[in-house]
């Protein structure tokens, strides 16, 4: 196998997907050689480690694509430019596609998910069995929510923005096992006057499943300010839905220690369900509010 040709194949992919620009190719070649700790292309045996890079779900691919892809500041600049000039759908199309192309969103694994609809006496039920993401034990979720804030743990949790670019650590290392996140990028959102971030779920349950996280590591709390932030999100990305789990262990949210929402480009039966009661909120006269109590 030819190391030079293998690296060229990776660069061709990266240029095609706009992970790098053509003028980055020489630099990117040296980044990959540096990662392999090779001084040149002579050691053909190393090519096997890179191939087939895009078919593997491992730390080398995560590190390599994380090193090649744009920095957070470049991502944020492009994100804001698209929002401003081309609209919200162009912005999310670009960000979602890039998250897939750098293999942060695990499309291959997600293809194993099972999803179907079934009619029930309560209406249409959407069922998804996520076979790509390891499920957590509800008892572990409850215990983690009660655990005191651990200042020395870095990043404090899987939703903290400090995960952006993190190299990860093994179970035996200080702080315990934590996944590598070199290819994670988070784009900025201003919600309720606060700095929030948005990323896509690596193992999404529905189309363009995004996670929206507070800058601060603080517990989930559904209150008045939370509703305001949810509405702000829809002002920025009106083609997405947004929702919040309650900060309770039995509801389904798996990380209660970090304030976050989940959204995406999907329509749930709840959105089409008849409303049992309607009301208005002071300060938001153009928002229709309702309660679905069910049959
Ligand atoms: Zn956190």
151 and 40 within one domain: no
The sign one gets for the Cα dihedral 190, 192, 196, 200 is: negative
In a domain, 74, yes or no: yes
| CATH number of the domain within which 216 lies | 3.30.428
Q: What is the pLDDT of residue 133?
A: 75
Residue 136's domain comprises 107-291
Q: Give the range among 2-11, 41-50, 205-214 with minimum mean pLDDT.
A: 41-50
Contacts (Cβ under 8 Å, ≥6 apart) of 74: none
> Are 283 and 195 found together in one domain?
yes
* Same domain, residue pair 147 and 229: yes
Domain limit, last residue, from 85, 115, 149: 85
Per-residue pLDDT, 154: 93
Q: What's the gap in Å between 236 CA and the centre of ligand 1?
A: 24
Rounded to two decimals, the pTM is 0.90
In percent, how much of the chain has pLDDT > 70?
Answer: 91
Specify the pLDDT at position 245: 87
Answer yes or no: is 118 within a domain: yes
Residues 234 and 137 in one domain: yes
Checking if the pLDDT of 196 tops 70, the result is yes
Cβ proximity of 189 and 200 under 8 Å: no
Q: For residue 15, is it within any domain?
A: yes
* Total domains present in the chain: 2
Query: 35 and 155: one domain?
Result: no
**Distance of CA 92 from the midpoint of ligand 1 (Å):** 24
197 pLDDT band, cuts 50/70/90, is very high
Q: Are residues 156 and 210 in the same domain?
A: yes
- 288 CA to middle of ligand 1, Å? 32
CA torsion through residues 91, 94, 99, 105, sign = positive
Same domain, 17 and 74: yes
The Å distance, Cα 156 to ligand 1 centre, comes to 5
Q: What is the pLDDT of residue 56?
A: 53
Is residue 100 included in any domain, yes or no? no
Domain for residue 91, yes or no?
no
Q: Residue 274 Cα, ligand 1 centroid: separation in angstroms?
A: 36
Give domain status of residue 92, yes or no.
Answer: no
Q: How far is the CA of 217 from the centre of ligand 1 (A)?
A: 4
Report pLDDT digits (tens) over 50-62. 865 555 556 778 8
Q: Does position 250 have pLDDT exceeding 80, yes or no?
A: no
Kindly state whether residue 95 falls inside one of the protein's structural domains.
Answer: no
Give 150 Cα–ligand 1 centroid separation in angstroms.
10
Distance 237 CA to ligand 1 centre (A): 24
Tell me, yes or no, whether 254 lies in a domain: yes
Same domain, 142 and 240: yes
Spacing, Cα 197 to ligand 1 middle (Å): 12
């Amino acid at each position: 196998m030819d190391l030079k040709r293998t690296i060229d194949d990776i660069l061709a992919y990266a240029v095609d997907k706009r992970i790098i620009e053509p003028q980055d190719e020489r630099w990117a070649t040296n980044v990959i050689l540096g990662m392999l700790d090779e001084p040149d292309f002579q050691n053909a045996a190393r090519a096997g480690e890179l191939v087939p890079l895009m078919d593997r779900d491992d730390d080398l691919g995560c590190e390599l694509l994380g090193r090649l892809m744009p920095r957070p500041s470049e991502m944020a600049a492009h994100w804001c430019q698209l929002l401003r000039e081309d609209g919200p759908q162009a912005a999310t199309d670009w960000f979602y596609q890039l998250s897939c192309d750098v293999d942060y969103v695990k499309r291959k694994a997600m293809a194993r998910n099972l999803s179907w609809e079934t009619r029930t006496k309560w209406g249409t039920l959407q069922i998804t069995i996520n076979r790509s993401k390891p499920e957590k034990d509800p008892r572990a979720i409850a215990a983690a929510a009660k655990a005191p804030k651990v200042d020395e743990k870095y990043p404090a949790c899987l939703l903290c923005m400090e995960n952006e670019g993190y190299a990860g650590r093994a179970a035996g290392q200080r702080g315990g096992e934590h996944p590598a996140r070199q290819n994670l990028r988070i784009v900025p959102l201003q919600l309720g006057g606060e700095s929030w971030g948005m990323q896509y779920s690596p193992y999404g349950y529905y189309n363009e499943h995004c996670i929206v996280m507070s800058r601060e590591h603080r517990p989930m709390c559904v209150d008045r300010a939370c509703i305001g932030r949810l509405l702000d999100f829809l002002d920025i990305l009106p083609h997405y839905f947004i929702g919040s789990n309650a900060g309770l262990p039995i509801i389904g949210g798996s990380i209660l220690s970090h304030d976050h929402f989940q959204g995406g480009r999907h329509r749930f039966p709840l959105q089409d369900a008849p409303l049992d009661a309607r009301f208005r909120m002071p300060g938001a006269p153009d928002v229709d509010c309702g309660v679905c109590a069910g049959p």
